[in-house]
Structure 1
Amino acid sequence: MPVRDERGLYERICLEGFQAGLSWATILRKRPAFRAAFADFDPDVVAGFGGSDVDRLLADAGIVRHRGKIEAAVGNARATVALRAEGGLPGLVWSFRPAATPRPRTAAEVPTRSAESEALSRALRARGFRFVGPTTMYALMEAVGIVDTHLMGSHRRGSSGVWPEPEGRA
């Protein structure tokens, strides 16, 4: 379903970064612990985390204990707060919605990146975000409804309402 709020997008950027190199099952299983550890992904709170908080998080067995990813989540909170002066994270992320969404008929046709995800990655990196590569940002775009990569004919295709299929063409 579409995610258009700052906290929701910040959380998903963080979780996509933590997922890099791991299975989604691991991240989803740990999601409650991530929310507890990162103040329910409140960017204002996480932006205030310091070295002792990073040490605390590195000792938290409930989350992925990777210093670079933890420090990126803190830095990304600071970048999220700073981005408010430019209109905010939701406006920036959603500005990369393509004119059309993919129309895959097989799993092999589902893309893993796009020109828009590459541009979003560059835009976020330019503003201080980390762990936001183009493949990771494409996964974010799928997760928040910016693109719909459900297979044509899938019962989930178009269910977000962002990309409704024309009648009789699903």
Structure 2
Amino acid sequence: MEQKRCGWCLSSDLYKAYHDHEWGVPVKDDATLFEFLILETFQAGLSWITILNKRDNFRKAFDNFDYKKIAGYQQQKIDSLLQDAGIIRNKLKIKATISNAQAFMEVQSQFESFSNYIWEFVDHTPIKNSFSNYKDMPATTDISDRLSIDLKSRGFKFVGSTVVYAHMQATGMVNDHEITCFRYHEV
């Protein structure tokens, strides 16, 4: 008998693997937090499965999400990315990735790590919600609203409250697994 999963991930094996092994697992590592931030910003206006299908391409195109390298990207690299059919070729999102890498390092210098900064918004403890159906989950919360505003004030782009809440879910700042999902008590 197959384990019960959240309803949103049932359409593909890739979705199931992401759900089972990554989504909602608390992430405190800055490199991984940055990767999810970039992926979430590119996801804005698109489906998450589109991003998951292109994740390896993003990884290659953006130097394994090395924010120190990305922060120094010049026009030649931007032009190269705009020609890369393996990623989402959105000029504003590509430029935002560069400025977000710069802002990310600035936050690190102020808070010792990006993790220290972002996890402070939930008192360094995941919020455990109790939804029986993923369709009942909010797209934003008061915390994602505050975090979005704060990120924007620090120079981050494409970090509206919906993107921020998706990032919080992906990185385990909130546990939004459905209460009947086998991962609900595991993360």
TM-score (norm 2): 0.81
Alpha-carbon distance, 1:43 to partner: 0.8
1:5 corresponding residue in structure 2: 29
Question: Which letter maps to 2:34?
Answer: Y
How many aligned residue pairs are there? 160
Q: Which has the higher contact order (CA 8 A, sep 6+)?
A: 2
Question: Which letter maps to 2:140?
Answer: R
Question: Which letter maps to 1:68?
Answer: L
What is the 5 A alignment of 1:131-146? 131-146=158-173
**Equivalent of 2:58 in 34, 37, 46:** 34
What is the 5 A alignment of 1:19-58? 19-58=43-82
Alpha-carbon distance, 1:21 to partner: 1.1
1:156 corresponding residue in structure 2: 183
2:105 corresponding residue in structure 1: 81
Alpha-carbon distance, 1:106 to partner: 2.3
Alpha-carbon distance, 1:83 to partner: 1.3
Alpha-carbon distance, 1:109 to partner: 2.1
Do 1:148 and 1:158's aligned partners in 2 also have CA atoms closer than 8 Å? no
Specify every segment of 5 or more residues in structure 2 that has no aligned partner in the other structure, as ranges.
1-24
Compare 11-20 and 108-117 and name the one that shifted more: 108-117
Q: Are 1:92 and 2:124 counterparts?
A: no
Compare 54-63 and 92-101 and name the one that shifted more: 92-101
1:166 corresponding residue in structure 2: none
Specify every segment of 5 or more residues in structure 1 that has no aligned partner in the other structure, as ranges.
161-170
Other structure's SS at 2:174 match: coil
Question: Where has structure 1 moved over 3 Å in runs of 4 or more?
Answer: none
TM-score (norm 1): 0.89
Q: Are 1:121 and 2:145 counterparts?
A: no
